[in-house]
């Protein structure tokens, strides 16, 4: 007898189907948001088209637009996070989700069964290489990382007492939002962002001269001196052997008592679904996955770190401080 046969009519009647209906609707909500953002709806554009009115009305019921007389205007939520010119805009991440993640997720079943990312299957061999390049230095992707990172960086900077550190190097620090948040909380700290050369140019536009910017490759180049390295959303996209190598390199480069600040979403069985969905996201688009604090701790201990503290921040990204 299979599981379906065990449910008689009475027990089925007791359970509402609403959660399932919500899940089915989930992709429709996402795609409505993606389409409206790409069409510039939250930037005041009103393109011609038979379906535009329907899209506007749907944005109203989703809380993204409101009606003022015969006009549709942004709600506060949309104005803060969806308008492209807003400093807190999530437009970059929405556009990345629409053009890259949404097609990759269409092959989730294959990723689950075969265990590998879906770039080649989704975009073909050459497009896959181009798309991977955009993940490491593509402006759209980095704008997405910036908007999303801003939601967490202040809480991450406040997660531990970092006052004893003098020199932070944020490896793969992109636009510098974490380095700036740490600098704001600890003005005496010297904050440096190291990233690949094209990204450093973009970082200059965001961070100006408020932090030092260094072009480099944290895997292959010698690392700048630091008593605190940060790794924000770097480990979750990598295989364990790559993580081991990188953590060992950082451990060797740190002085005694030096630290490493890891910024990732920590998986918890009693935590929000976001972490697990994000881990499936890593499955379709990288060679990595999200991990529990215990899993990160094991990797850190193996690399020689002695004291490891994890902090659930309440914002999308959590933090781990590991000390040599």
- Residues found near ligand SAM in the complex (CB under 6 A): 136-137, 142, 145, 149, 172-174, 195-196, 199, 217-219, 232-234
Q: Locate 307 and state its tokens.
A: 């004291």
Nearest to 61 by CA among 106, 35, 29, 86: 29
Say if residues 75 and 56 touch (Cβ distance below 8 Å).
no
HSE of 164 in the Cβ direction (CA atoms, 13 Å)? 8
Nearest to 191 by CA among 208, 206, 213, 172: 213
Alpha carbon distance 239, 115 (integer Å): 12
Can you tell me which residue has the tokens 């499936």?
Answer: 280
The least distance separating ligand SAM from the CB of residue 160, rounded to whole angstroms, comes to 17
Nearest-CB residue for ligand SAM: 172
Which of 234, 308 has the CB closer to ligand SAM?
234
Which of 78, 246 has the CB closer to ligand SAM?
246
Which of 36, 202 has the CB closer to ligand SAM?
202
> DSSP letter at 288?
-
> Which one of 96, 146, 206, 236 is the catalytic residue?
236
Q: Locate 19 and state its tokens.
A: 């959660």
Alpha carbon distance 191, 185 (integer Å): 12
The least distance separating ligand SAM from the CB of residue 75, rounded to whole angstroms, comes to 27
The Cα-based distances of 127 to 103, 118, 121 in angstroms read 13, 12, 10
Q: Is 236 marked active-site?
A: yes
The least distance separating ligand SAM from the CB of residue 243, rounded to whole angstroms, comes to 13
CA dihedral 133, 291, 81, 72 (to 10 degrees): 100
Three-state secondary-structure class, residue 172: coil
Which of 108, 196 has the CB closer to ligand SAM?
196
Which of 64, 321 has the CB closer to ligand SAM?
321
The least distance separating ligand SAM from the CB of residue 196, rounded to whole angstroms, comes to 5
The least distance separating ligand SAM from the CB of residue 174, rounded to whole angstroms, comes to 4
Alpha carbon distance 174, 198 (integer Å): 10
Element (H, E) at 311: strand 307-311
The least distance separating ligand SAM from the CB of residue 21, rounded to whole angstroms, comes to 34
Which of 25, 201 has the CB closer to ligand SAM?
201
Positions marked catalytic? 236
């Amino acid at each position: 007898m299979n599981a379906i046969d065990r449910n008689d009519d009475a027990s089925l009647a007791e359970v509402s189907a609403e959660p399932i209906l919500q899940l089915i609707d989930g992709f429709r909500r996402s795609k409505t948001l993606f389409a409206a953002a790409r069409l510039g709806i939250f930037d005041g554009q009103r393109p011609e088209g038979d379906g535009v009115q329907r899209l506007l009305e749907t944005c109203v019921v989703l809380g993204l637009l409101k009606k003022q007389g015969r006009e549709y205007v942004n709600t506060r939520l949309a104005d803060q996070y969806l308008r492209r010119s807003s400093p807190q805009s999530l437009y970059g991440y929405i556009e990345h989700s629409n053009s890259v993640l949404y097609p990759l997720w269409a092959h989730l079943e294959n990723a689950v069964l075969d265990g590998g990312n879906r770039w080649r299957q989704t975009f073909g061999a050459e497009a896959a290489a181009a798309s991977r390049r955009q993940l490491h230095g593509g402006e759209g992707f980095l704008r997405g990382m910036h908007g999303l990172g801003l939601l967490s960086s202040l809480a991450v900077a406040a997660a531990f007492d970092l006052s004893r550190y003098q020199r932070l190097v944020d490896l793969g620090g992109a636009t510098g939002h974490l380095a700036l948040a740490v600098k704001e909380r600890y003005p005496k700290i010297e904050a440096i962002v190291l990233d690949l050369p094209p990204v450093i140019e973009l970082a200059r536009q965001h961070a100006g001269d408020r932090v030092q910017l260094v072009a480099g490759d944290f895997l292959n180049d010698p690392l700048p001196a630091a008593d605190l390295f940060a790794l924000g959303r770097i480990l979750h996209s990598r295989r364990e052997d790559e993580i081991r190598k990188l953590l060992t390199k950082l451990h060797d480069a740190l002085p005694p008592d030096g630290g490493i600040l890891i910024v990732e979403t920590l998986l918890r069985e009693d935590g929000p679904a976001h972490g697990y969905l994000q881990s499936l996201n890593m499955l379709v688009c990288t060679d990595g996955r999200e991990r529990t604090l215990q899993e990160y701790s094991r990797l850190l201990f193996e690399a020689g770190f002695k004291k490891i503290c994890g902090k659930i921040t309440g914002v999308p990204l959590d933090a781990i401080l590991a000390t040599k």
